A and B are shown apart, each in its own frame.
Chain A
Amino acid sequence: MIYFDSAATTFQKPPAVAAAVEDALRTMSSPGRGGYPAAMRAADTAFACRNELAELYHVGSPEQVVFTLNATHALNLAIKSLVPPGGKAVVSGYEHNAVTRPLAALGAQIDVAAGPLFQPAVVTETFDRMVTPDTDAVICNHISNVFGFVQPVEDIAALCRQRGVPLIVDASQSAGILPLDMTALGAAFVAMPGHKGLYGPQGTGVLLCGEGQKTATLLEGGTGSQSIQQSMPDFLPDRLEAGTHNMPGIAGLLAGVRFVRRQGLEAICRKERRLAQLAAEGLRTIPGVHVWATPDLTAQAGVVSFTADGWDVEELAGALGEREIAVRAGLHCAPLAHRTVGTLESGTVRLSFSAMNTPAEVCRFLAILRKLSRG
């Protein structure tokens, strides 16, 4: 199978990830729940993973790295820590339902800073107009999961700092691909999955919390600390980590993060961009195919959306799937992004790459699509 759905989850992981998961199942119990070797081995692994992530994202202390189930869980924690019921949030025009649905559930006023695709300067100007001191939070993804648009989060962070408005960065598509400096950004929270560009197993996610950031709990329960007290501890990570940890997942995530750090973000990003560029150039040569990509992939990472005349996007993805090419079609849980670009009615077919893909796979995909498009 040729797997081009890494924006959903990276399916091909480094071998060390599966080995770490298996090792955790055999040798680790629960961190923070005992002093015996299996518990301490789990605690050491969780701590090592927090440290790796803290170093990668320039987070002040490892306890500011909170393990979650996925990026959606992390975003819910961040949003519900900052936006009160009926509050006000300014979001980019490319947000996922993991952002817009929690805001809708809060009954929040959602102001959309809908800048045009691949024009980061205009996006910043739009935020500049819309973010006011009474904004409870600004939420912006680093890379659009539909179009690969790299949004100007550093510039948006700067204007949030100027106005004293907390920023949440959704790094779902950029984690493991583009650098982020939590300290320099001054973001309140950065949310990310463990199972995409960080190559951890599904069921892992991370919330990076700003130093001293107040947090609201979604779950209450055992933490292995201050057990007499019936309220959740007021310190991280325990406050946001009720219940038993996903130790096989965290061990696998640690192996994935170490893989990413060995490869280097720049090398991974360069590789994925080359693949995206190769795909976009090839797609443009197929009659009836419409592709959303910049010519030199400025402001775009390794995600490319397209449609083909005469094909429903789901049917096209199905036809590709039958030929052993895995892609995602439809709205990609991001109707707002499709509304912004004007593809809400049709949806798109999305190609999303990882460090495991090759140019030969892209060429094979293009050859198959060319055949399909001829009918």
Chain B
Amino acid sequence: MENYLIIARSVTYAQRMQNVLGRAGIRCRIFRAPRDLTDLGCAYAVQIQAGDLSRALTTLHRASLDPVQIFMTQQKGLYREVEP
């Protein structure tokens, strides 16, 4: 199933994203970002369903929580970076 990974610069930012998205009714979960996805190493990702991307980005932008990067994934281990 298609979903998106929003990369946050730290666990605290990922937690803030989770809180803000949760309040907007957008389901998400936090986990360590796959190593291949982070040029700077060690980050956290917030995973959301594909249909929620647009609303999630608007919600995060309003909270001044713009993502470091966004990746689309259709199957485990395969990611494609997308522009916000």
Contacts and interface: CB of A to CB of B under 8 A. Distances in A.
Contacts of A35: 30-32, 44
Interface stretch (A6-14, A78-86, A227-235): A227-235
Contacts, number: 58
A44 B15 CA distance: 8
B41 A227 contact: yes
Interface string B23-46: 000000011100000011111100
Contacts of B40: 225-229
Contacts of A63: 10, 12-13, 16
A226 B42 contact: yes
A228 B10 CA distance: 14
B10 A47 contact: no
Given A32-B12, A63-B16, A235-B13, 11 more contacts: A34-B32, A35-B30, A35-B32, A40-B30, A43-B11, A47-B15, A63-B10, A225-B42, A226-B43, A228-B41, A238-B10
B12 A50 contact: yes
A197 interface: no
Interface of B: 9-13, 15-16, 30-32, 39-44
Interface in A40-70: 40, 43-44, 46-47, 50, 61-63
Nearest to A222: B42
Q: Across chains A and B, which 8 residue pairs bring their CB atoms closest together, nearest first?
A: A227-B41, A35-B32, A32-B11, A227-B42, A228-B41, A226-B40, A225-B10, A35-B31
A135 to B, nearest CB: 31
A237 interface: yes
B11 to A, nearest CB: 4
A47 B44 CA distance: 14
A169 B12 CA distance: 25
Contact of A228 (B9, B11, B12, B39): B39
A224 interface: yes
A46 B44 CA distance: 16
A47 B15 CA distance: 7
B41 A31 contact: no
Contacts of B10: 32, 63, 223-225, 233, 235, 238
B72 to A, nearest CB: 20
Nearest to B40: A226
Interface string A17-49: 000000000000001101100001001101100
25 contacts: A31-B11, A32-B10, A32-B44, A34-B32, A35-B31, A40-B30, A44-B15, A46-B12, A47-B12, A47-B15, A50-B12, A63-B10, A224-B10, A225-B9, A225-B43, A226-B42, A227-B41, A227-B42, A228-B39, A228-B41, A229-B40, A233-B9, A233-B10, A235-B9, A238-B10
A228 B9 CA distance: 13
A238 B42 contact: no
Given A35-B32, A40-B30, A238 B12 contact: yes
Contacts of A31: 11
Interface in A232-250: 233, 235, 237-238
Nearest to A40: B30
B16 A226 contact: no
Contacts of A226: 9, 40-43
Contacts of A227: 40-42
A47 B16 CA distance: 9
Given A35-B31, A35-B32, A237 B12 contact: yes
Given A226-B41, A226-B43, A61 B32 contact: no
B59 to A, nearest CB: 15
Nearest to A44: B15
B11 A225 contact: yes
Interface in A188-224: 223-224
B56 to A, nearest CB: 19
A47 B40 CA distance: 23
A113 B51 CA distance: 60
B9 to A, nearest CB: 6
Nearest to B63: A61
A223 B32 CA distance: 14
A44 B14 CA distance: 11
A28 to B, nearest CB: 13
